[in-house]
């Protein structure tokens, strides 16, 4: 299976996760394939600010993301009024959600490592239910 196929499969899996939790979500056409797509999914729920989601998966314990990709992602998110979130999935670990400020600078790239993602990141319900509580308060 090619990296593109694996990435598409991961994005579809993430889309299903949002749907199962009552969110409306859509994959962004051409994500990762050209310079004019800046996120992988857009997701929203009634009475909540919507999200731009950048999805990454890896069998390695580290995921590297170019600084340019994150800069474009952040600019797009803020321009469109979306909350930026990075969804990462490591083999046999499930999806973990982190905020862009939690990325580590490796010099030339941003990096997410498995250990830090597990200790500082949140699972779907933890990340998005917290958002619901903050909106209600």
Active-site choice (31, 77, 106, 125): 31
The DSSP annotation for the chain comes to: --HHHHHHHHHHHHHHHHHHTT-EEEEPTTTTTSTT---SEEEE-TTS--EEEEEEEESSSEEEEEHHHHHHHHHHHHHHT-EEEEEEEETTTEEEEE-GGGPEE-SSEEEEEHHHHHHH-B-HHHHHHHHHHHHH-
Catalytic (active site) residue 2:
no
Q: Which residues are designated catalytic?
A: 31
């Amino acid at each position: 299976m090619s990296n593109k196929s694996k990435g598409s499969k991961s994005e579809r899996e993430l889309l299903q996760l949002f749907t199962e939790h009552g969110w409306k979500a859509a994959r962004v056409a051409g994500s990762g394939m050209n310079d004019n797509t800046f996120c992988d999914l857009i997701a929203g729920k009634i009475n909540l600010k919507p999200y731009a989601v950048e999805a990454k998966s890896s069998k390695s314990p580290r995921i590297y993301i170019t600084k340019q990709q994150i800069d474009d992602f952040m600019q797009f998110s803020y321009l469109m009024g979306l909350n930026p979130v990075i969804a990462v999935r490591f083999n046999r670990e499930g999806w973990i959600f982190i905020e862009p400020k939690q990325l580590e600078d490796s010099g030339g790239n941003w990096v997410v490592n498995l250990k830090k993602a597990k200790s500082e990141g949140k699972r779907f319900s933890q990340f998005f239910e917290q958002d619901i509580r903050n909106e209600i308060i």
